[in-house]
Amino acid sequence: MKKRAKKPFSFLKYVKKYIPLVILNIILNIGIYVMVFYSSIFAARGLEAVTLSDLHLAIKYLGISSGMYVAINILNYPLDMIYCYVTSHIYVDIKRDLTARLFEISAESYGESGASAFVQRVLNDSEQVFRVFTSIFEIVCDLVTNVVILVYIMTFNVYIGLFILGTLVIVVLFDYFRNRWIKKNRKEIRNINDKVYSYTNEIVRSQLDIKTLDLEESLKSTTQDMHKGLEGKKLKFNYKAGGLRTLKNVFSNSVAFCIVILAVFIFEKFAMPMVAFLYIFQNRNVFLRMSNNLNNILSMAVDFRVSYDRIIELFEEDKFPTEKFGNEVIEECIGEVEFKDVYFSYKITEKDKENDKNKKKRRKNQEEKEEKPEIKKKQVLKGINFKVEAGDNIAIVGRSGAGKSTIVSLIPKLYECEEGEVLIDGKDIKTLSKQSLRKNISLVNQSPYIFNLSIRENLLLAKKDATEEELVNALQKASLYDFVQGLEQGLDSIVGENGVKLSGGQKQRLAIARALLKDSKIIIFDESTSSLDNFAQEEVKEAIQNLSGNRTVITVAHRLSTIKNAQKIYFIDDGKIIDSGDFDELLNGCEEFAKLFSVENI
pLDDT above 80 (res 562): no
Residues in a beta bridge with 338? 387, 423
Half-sphere exposure of 337 (CA within 13 A, CB side): 27
Q: How confident is the model at residue 71 (pLDDT cuts 50, 70, 90)?
A: very high
| DSSP-derived 3-state class of residue 346 | strand
Where residue 474 falls among pLDDT bands split at 50, 70, 90? confident
**209 burial via Cβ count (<10 Å: 0-12, 13-18, 19+):** exposed
- Give residue 507's region: left, alpha or beta (phi > 0; psi -120 to 50): alpha
- Residue that wins the pLDDT comparison between 573 and 365: 573
Could you write out the DSSP letters of every residue in 248-304? HHHHHHHHHHHHHHHHHHHHHHS---HHHHHHHHHTTTHHHHHHHHHHHHHHHHHHH
Q: Which residues is 328 bridged to in the sheet?
A: 432
* Cα gap 289→599, rounded to integer Å: 77
In the chain the first and final C-alpha atoms are separated, in Å, by: 60
Between the CA of residue 378 and those of 257, 425, 536, what are the distances in Å?
Answer: 71, 30, 35
What secondary structure letter does DSSP report for 563?
Answer: G
Question: pLDDT, tens digit, for every residue of 342-400?
Answer: 999 877 644 434 444 444 444 444 444 444 445 567 788 999 999 999 888 899 988 88
Pairing type for strands 568-573 and 337-349 reads unpaired
DSSP state of 480: -
Q: pLDDT (tens digit, 9 = 90+) per residue, 195-216?
A: 777 777 777 767 767 776 677 7
CB atoms near residue 598 (< 10 Å)? 11
Cβ count near 32 (within 10 Å): 20
Sheet with 441-444: list strands edge to edge: 441-444, 522-526, 552-557, 393-398, 568-573, 576-581
Rounded distance, CA 431 to CA 428, Å?
6
How confident is the prediction for the chain on average, in pLDDT?
81
pLDDT in the model for residue 116: 62
Query: What sign does the CA torsion over 176, 179, 180, 181 have?
Result: positive
Q: Are 105 and 118 in contact (CB under 8 A)?
A: yes
Q: What residues contact 225, with CB distance under 8 A and at least 6 apart?
A: none
| pTM for this prediction | 0.66
Kindly indicate the confidence band of residue 570, based on its pLDDT and cuts at 50, 70 and 90.
Answer: very high
CA dihedral angle for residue 169, residue 174, residue 176, residue 181, rounded to 10 degrees = 170
Residue 553 half-sphere exposure, CB side, CA atoms within 13 Å? 24
pLDDT over 50 at 530, yes or no: yes
Question: d(Cα 423, Cα 13) in Å, to the nearest integer?
Answer: 40
Query: For residue 429, what are the contacts with CB-CB under 8 A and spacing of at least 6?
Result: 411, 413, 422, 423, 437
Q: Are the C-beta atoms of 495 and 453 separated by less than 8 Å?
A: yes
Q: For position 241, what pLDDT does the model report? A: 87
Q: How many residues can be counted in the chain?
A: 602
Dihedral sign of CA atoms 239, 241, 242, 247 in order:
positive
Question: Within 10 A of 591 (CB to CB), how many other CB atoms are there?
Answer: 9
Rounded Cα distance, 192 and 74, in Å: 47
Q: What is the mean pLDDT of residues 400-411?
A: 87
Give residue 507's pLDDT: 83
The predicted-structure confidence for 11-52, as pLDDT tens digits, reads as follows 778 888 888 988 888 888 888 888 988 998 899 888 888 888
